[in-house]
Amino acid sequence: MSNVHFAPLADHVGVEALNIDLNAIDDTAFGALRQAVADHGVLFVRDQQLTPEQHIAFARRWGGIDVNNYFPANGGYPEIAEVRKSETQTTNIGGGWHTDHSYDQVPAMGSILLARETPPSGGDTLFAGMGAAFDSLSDGLKDTLRGLRAVHSADHIYSTGGIYAQTDQAADLKGHDIRTRAVHPVALRHPVTGRELLYVNPAFTLHFEGWTREESLPLLQYLYEVGMRPEFQCRVQWAPGSLAIWDNRSTWHFAMNDYHGHRRLMHRITISGEPLE
């Protein structure tokens, strides 16, 4: 039995591991953390003292590392992406509901985000549980979704003509010429728990396969409204040394942008996933 203690963050998503030192956990405790992420979608831990090397070593326990193509790398550590906003910037990264890397053929399993500098207040991150969102749908709609696949891309976000190019994050981001397209099931079975999940997201999903965007939007908008219901969410409040690990298949997240005039710096390592079909 593992002696890691957990406290839920909300009814349907999120759990916090208490009194734990990620530099000193044995394989049993690590197994409990892995199970917690599978079961709750996001695991939150406070007060960690991790150097960049220790952050990378911890990430490698979870699996391979996917280097993000768009975010600036942290100095000497290509595995670590910087998610940052300065005192003078007004746009943040991740300030809309999304799941990371759904535009990849094999989307990342998850991300490990470590807070380095946080504003005096604000800058929380919201997470939403896509298992609970799927469960809440009618049997008829669930059956329809089981027969659908959706097309995902990041081009409208990160390319030269994309959303960030118009903002004060443009100079920090890279990969403007990369083109992405992936097709994934809309009702996904979680590879570990087998739980059914709603796998479309407002940022990267373009349309249902074989449907036009115009035909897809009404149903997508409905699914997004369900996914955004406050009852399926939890909220994480960061301080330097806080760390979150989330599962991109079973959760969405949203970085609040309510701290203008202050710096916020997060270090993110993205963990490789497995094919979704």
Contact status: 107 vs Fe ion (CB under 5 A): no
- Tokens representing residue 109 in the block: 């399993």
Amino acid letter, 261: G
Q: Choosing from 84, 101, 190, 253, which is the catalytic residue?
A: 253
The residues pairing with 233 across neighbouring beta strands, listed in sequence order, are 128
Indicate if 5 belongs to the active site: no
Instruction: Return the range that interacts with Fe ion (CB under 5 A); candidates 87-95, 120-128, 170-178, 258-266.
Output: 87-95
Using the rule CB under 6 A, give the single segment among 50-58, 92-100, 137-145, 165-173 that binds ligand AKG. Answer: 92-100
Q: Out of 48, 66, 81, 94, which residue is the one contacting Fe ion (CB under 5 A)? A: 94
- Least distance to ligand AKG, CB of residue 264, Å: 7
When asked if residue 185 is in the footprint of Fe ion (CB under 5 A), the reply is no
Is residue 152 flagged as an active site residue?
no
Residue selected from 79, 100, 104, 172 as contacting Fe ion according to rule CB under 5 A? 100
The answer to whether residue 55 is catalytic is no
CB 163 within 8 A of CB 267: no
Answer yes or no: 98 catalytic: yes
Q: How far is the CB of 166 from Fe ion (least distance, A)?
A: 19
Q: Does 253 bind ligand AKG (CB under 6 A)?
A: yes
By beta-carbon proximity to ligand AKG, the closer residue of 65 and 187 is 65
**83 touches ligand AKG (CB under 6 A):** yes
Task: List the single partner that 267 binds among Fe ion, ligand AKG, none, CB under 5 to 8 Å by kind.
Answer: none
CA distance 175 to 58: 27
Pair 110, 271: CB distance under 8 Å: yes
Residue 83 interacting entry, from Fe ion, ligand AKG, none, C-beta within 5 to 8 Å by type: ligand AKG
Which of 10, 50, 93, 128 contacts ligand AKG by CB under 6 A?
93
The site for Fe ion (CB under 5 A) is made up of: 94, 100
Task: By CB under 6 A, name the binding residues for ligand AKG.
Answer: 83, 93-94, 100, 111, 113, 125, 253, 255, 266, 268
User: Which residues are known catalytic residues?
Assistant: 98, 100, 253, 268
